[in-house]
Structure 1
Amino acid sequence: MNEIRYTTPSEQIQKLRSQNMIVIDEEYAEEQLFQCGYSNLIKSYRDPYIFISNGKKMYRSGVTFEQLQSLYTLDKNLRNAVMGAMLDLEEHIKEAAADVIASSFGVHQDEYLQFRNYRDKSKKKYCFSLAGIIETMKKALKTDKNPIAHYSSSHGIVPPWILFKSIYFSTIVNFIHQFKPAEQTKMVKHLYDPNSKIPKSVLPELMMDTLFVCLEYRNLAAHGGRIYNYECEKKLRFYQNPDSSLHGFNLLLLLLSFFKYKAPLEILEKALNNELNRHCSAFPEDVTYLGQILNVDITVRNTVWITNNSQKYHRYKHCSGILNAKGIDIKEADSQGYTPCKKCYK
């Protein structure tokens, strides 16, 4: 069993050099190791750059500390983007669910929290069972914090859009899973374009699969997990995309692209494009690896998106809900007479 002992950033750098890593700026490396930690920075992101020689981890020829640190930064910025996108999506989902509940059962908590209004699907954890969810929501009603306390004392009513502000996203997602078919159909209408080519019969299942995938990524990001090469445990059940190679982060983007509300998708696409361009411009040897892991074609260029229906080019592939966008270099777009979209090029 290997002994675990405390080492200083200076000692850690000497170890990295003994493993064939190039450290160009030792002062910068020490600062990064001190701020981020050897385990977070090195152990979590070294796999693409190492091989085993005589039982010892060694870095491939030419690998620098700055290269590994750049991959760490790429993942950190993706993680921050996932957190921001999921918080945005959470607000949207809560408002949609509140609208469905209020329209079906009324705005008084004694009406919309009736057990009979929902299905009672079996859950491994009591807190996500129908009884557990209703119990959680009733406890939340007793808080002395606003806005719930204000509505309770001033109106005697706490409508669902107020109550849901204080309820965890995981509870809301599992609550939606307990909706009866009529309410699930209403949720689908909130979230998906009625002209979507996806068969309407699978939309409720696709909605739930998507929400559970998003919840998984949200929890991963909240706990500092590695994002860029994460493979989600939740698998799609009824919707099968013709491109079965979609997986990982690209699968999350696909699922978000089906929603009418595009803001979470745009947050993630912007972060992904920016980080891939930044990292791969500096370290083009990583293009193949990241392309395979993220399942995307990486071209290090200033890419914009165009369609056959407009002479505008866009910074984001799904700006304003455009479909079938094609990526081209911005210089090529300019030469063809395209001009920047006023929305995404403010």
Structure 2
Amino acid sequence: MEQKPFRTFEEQIAILKSRNLSFVNEDAAVDILSTYSYYEIINGYKEVGIARGENYRDGVTFEQLFNLFLMDKKIRSAIAIAINEIEAHLRTALSYTVAKHYSADQNEYLKRRYYEKGNTKKRQSQRTQLLNKCNKILNDSSQPYKHYREHHGNIPPWILVKGMTFGNLITFYKLQMPSIKTEVISLMTKIPEELVTDDLKDMMVNILYFLLAHRNNSAHVSRAYNFKTEKSKIRYTKAFHDRMKISKMEYDNGNGQNGLSTLAFALSWFQTHNSPVASFSFAVTQAIDEYLKLYPSDKGFIEKEIEGPFYIFV
């Protein structure tokens, strides 16, 4: 197995120049490579300028790749901010509804009978895994769990959920009884409870896992503008795809499954105090527009990578 040898910043630039990549300012390029690394910029964003193999098209510059990197960095930040809003809303709506229906007493609201079994993995149901996780949080030595345990003798659900990851939180929602899910959806979307169907409940679980995939991808500082998830892609749901104006046939051809537009429509279902889809779509549109002002000929490439034109939600 061939190992990659160490290269100085100047040697990295020489290699790129040998592959037909131009530089507007080599001194500035050294500063950039010393901050963000060769791998992050070149390996992450070279597709915009590659002609064949490792060689670049005539006229493609290092600065072009770096500006695509900066565009993606802004999009990644917008994704994280928007999904953090949804996560906070889910924590509040779910803990509020659980306490309202079952009590704030941990010995009551964590009874097994209140939760669906879920899938089985490694001979343990999701319910067992979830309750084990909850028990660990109840006995956590950090704050605020220790304070509530020692001074109140109880950890209410709105404190318990603070110890859950977004993935734990989605499982906590997924395993709730149908009536709890209905109320949580209504709180988060402003859809009247009587209009919350089983299809909407399934769609919400799908959306939450789709958001989780994007959040995890962004947390690992991976490419965000063209991120795709096969495992957690948006499944065809009439309500969701009617909103996108995408037919079942168009969906089967790959539309409305992934991409930034699909992410924006997923966010559009939530009615939080601060509209996450409005701020997200504005930030993404601004980032793309700033890049295309510098490199207008890349419009086709960008639209293909993000799976279609992107619009601001208001």
Which residue of structure 2 lines up, in the alignment, with residue 228 of structure 1? Answer: 225
1:82–1:221 Cα contact (<8 Å) kept: yes
> Residues 61-76 of structure 1: matches in 2 within 5 Å?
61-76=58-73
Which residue of structure 2 lines up, in the alignment, with residue 255 of structure 1? Answer: 266
Aligned-residue offset at 1:295 = 3.0
Aligned-residue offset at 1:130 = 0.9
> Residues 8-47 of structure 1: matches in 2 within 5 Å?
8-47=8-47
Aligned-residue offset at 1:65 = 0.7
Which letter does structure 1 place at the counterpart of 2:70?
A: T
Q: TM-score, normalised by structure 2?
A: 0.88
Q: Using the alignment, how far apart are the partners of 2:263 and 2:222 within structure 1?
A: 16
Question: Which ranges in structure 2 are unaligned for 5 or more consecutive residues?
Answer: none
Which residue of structure 2 lines up, in the alignment, with residue 209 of structure 1? Answer: 206
Residue by residue, what CA displacement relative to the aligned partner does 1:306-329 show, whole Å, maximum 9, x if unpaired?
xxxxxxxxxx532xxxxxxxxxxx
Which residue of structure 2 lines up, in the alignment, with residue 282 of structure 1? Answer: 294
Which letter does structure 1 place at the counterpart of 2:6?
A: Y
Residue by residue, what CA displacement relative to the aligned partner does 1:35-61 show, whole Å, maximum 9, x if unpaired?
111111101110121022xxx421111
Which protein, 1 or 2, shows the higher relative CO under an 8 Å CA cutoff with sep ≥ 6? 2
Which letter does structure 1 place at the counterpart of 2:234?
A: L
RMSD, aligned CA: 2.2
Which letter does structure 1 place at the counterpart of 2:263?
A: L
Aligned-residue offset at 1:99 = 1.1
Which letter does structure 2 place at the counterpart of 1:193?
A: K
Residue by residue, what CA displacement relative to the aligned partner does 1:242-296 show, whole Å, maximum 9, x if unpaired?
4132331211111111222253223321220121111111111111111222134
Which residue of structure 2 lines up, in the alignment, with residue 270 of structure 1? Answer: 282
Q: Using the alignment, how far apart are the partners of 1:125 and 1:59 within structure 2?
A: 48
Aligned-residue offset at 1:238 = 5.1
Which residue of structure 2 lines up, in the alignment, with residue 136 of structure 1? Answer: 133
Distance 1:140-1:3 versus aligned 2 partners, 3 A rule: closer
Aligned-residue offset at 1:123 = 4.1
Which residue of structure 1 lines up, in the alignment, with residue 85 of structure 2? Answer: 88
Which residue of structure 2 lines up, in the alignment, with residue 185 of structure 1? Answer: 182
Distance 1:3-1:118 versus aligned 2 partners, 3 A rule: closer
One of 83, 106, 110 as aligned partner of 2:107 = 110
Q: Using the alignment, how far apart are the partners of 1:142 and 1:195 within structure 2?
A: 38
Aligned-residue offset at 1:229 = 0.7
Which letter does structure 2 place at the counterpart of 1:284?
A: P
Question: Which ranges in structure 1 are unaligned for 5 or more consecutive residues?
Answer: 304-315, 319-346
Q: Using the alignment, how far apart are the partners of 2:123 and 2:157 within structure 1?
A: 22
Aligned-residue offset at 1:148 = 2.1
Q: How many residues align?
A: 298
Q: Using the alignment, how far apart are the partners of 1:16 and 1:161 within structure 2?
A: 53
Residue by residue, what CA displacement relative to the aligned partner does 1:88-118 show, whole Å, maximum 9, x if unpaired?
2211111111012111211011111111111
